[in-house]
């Protein structure tokens, strides 16, 4: 009997330990939010809410990330297919990330204009600009347009495997996070404020949209000629529809102030 109790106690403790592993790991497990189209979403416990109204006629500038940084530091990810699976790059002149960033940017402009948005894109054309403050870089142009009142968005794909975190909007450093930021974060995921200490783009009021990690199904669907156009189109529509719902403020969840939510001074109306 004594032995049995001892055994049962041990068994109970073992079960408790097992359970605690799951509880302890639950935030890790919930990181795997599978989005059928985009794969994993970022899970960084970001608490901001974008709630500033934007003008219904807000002009939008969209750019392809790394368009000015090929063959130098900051050229973007080559993706899982090229880096790990021995596939050929989509274009030998650029990383696969830039190749897809350009495709998505073009599709968003085309669909956005059709849907009535005042949207245009900027491409520096020169693929390697060493000085980030050169007036032709994405960051220089983006920062200038942002000051003029444009909503400036740079398209990216995140790295594969352990090098990347997943899809989501990296907000700019501002006290004016707005309804478009909120709508994009609801559709794609939400990176924290001051992510990596405030990236260069964020400091220049440029929003970064990580579409997803360049790996797995998402990358396969982009590379496969049968599914490519559909995949690009679905992503572009998701971006355009988010921008539209931000402008029209018909967000799926009405943002409410909750305990622990982070607001920069003045970002709650």
Give contact residues for Zn ion (rule: CB under 5 A): 65, 76, 156
Shortest reach from residue 232's CB to Zn ion, in Å: 17
Burial class (CB in 10 A: 0-12, 13-18, 19+), 4: exposed
For Zn ion, which is the closer residue by CB, 65 or 168?
Answer: 65
Q: Are 59 and 37 in contact (CB under 8 A)?
A: no
Chain residue at closest Cβ approach to Zn ion: 156
Residues in contact with 255: Cβ distance below 8 Å, sequence separation at least 6, in sequence order: 49, 50, 51, 182
For Zn ion, which is the closer residue by CB, 39 or 65?
Answer: 65
For Zn ion, which is the closer residue by CB, 63 or 251?
Answer: 63
Shortest reach from residue 172's CB to Zn ion, in Å: 16
Shortest reach from residue 182's CB to Zn ion, in Å: 22
Shortest reach from residue 97's CB to Zn ion, in Å: 5
Residues in contact with 213: Cβ distance below 8 Å, sequence separation at least 6, in sequence order: 39, 40, 80, 157, 158, 159, 160, 161, 164, 165, 166, 167
For Zn ion, which is the closer residue by CB, 67 or 247?
Answer: 67
Spatial distance between the Cα atoms of 20 and 91, rounded to a whole number of angstroms: 48
């Amino acid at each position: 009997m004594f032995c049995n109790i001892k055994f049962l106690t041990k068994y109970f403790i073992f079960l408790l330990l097992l359970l605690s592993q799951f509880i302890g790991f639950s935030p890790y497990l919930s990181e795997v939010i599978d989005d059928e189209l985009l794969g994993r979403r970022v899970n960084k416990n970001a608490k901001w809410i974008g709630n500033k109204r934007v003008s219904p006629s807000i002009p939008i500038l969209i750019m392809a990330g790394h368009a000015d940084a090929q063959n130098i530091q900051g050229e973007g990810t080559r993706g899982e297919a090229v880096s790990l699976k021995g596939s050929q790059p989509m274009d030998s002149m650029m990383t696969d990330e830039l190749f897809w960033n350009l495709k998505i940017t073009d599709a968003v402009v085309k669909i956005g204009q059709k849907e009535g948005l005042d949207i245009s894109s900027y491409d520096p054309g020169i693929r390697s600009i060493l000085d980030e403050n050169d007036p032709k870089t994405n960051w220089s142009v983006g920062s200038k347009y942002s000051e003029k009142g444009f909503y400036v968005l740079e398209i990216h794909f995140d790295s594969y495997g352990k090098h990347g975190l997943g899809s989501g909007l990296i907000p700019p450093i501002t006290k004016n996070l707005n309804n478009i930021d909120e709508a994009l974060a609801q559709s794609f995921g939400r990176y924290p404020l001051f992510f990596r200490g405030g990236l260069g783009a964020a400091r220049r009021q440029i929003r970064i949209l990580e579409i997803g990690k360049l790996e797995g199904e998402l990358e396969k669907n982009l590379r496969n000629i049968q599914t490519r156009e559909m995949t690009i189109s679905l992503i572009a529509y998701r971006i355009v529809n988010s921008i539209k719902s931000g402008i029209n403020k018909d967000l799926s969840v009405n943002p409410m102030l909750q305990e622990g939510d982070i607001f920069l001074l003045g970002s709650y109306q």
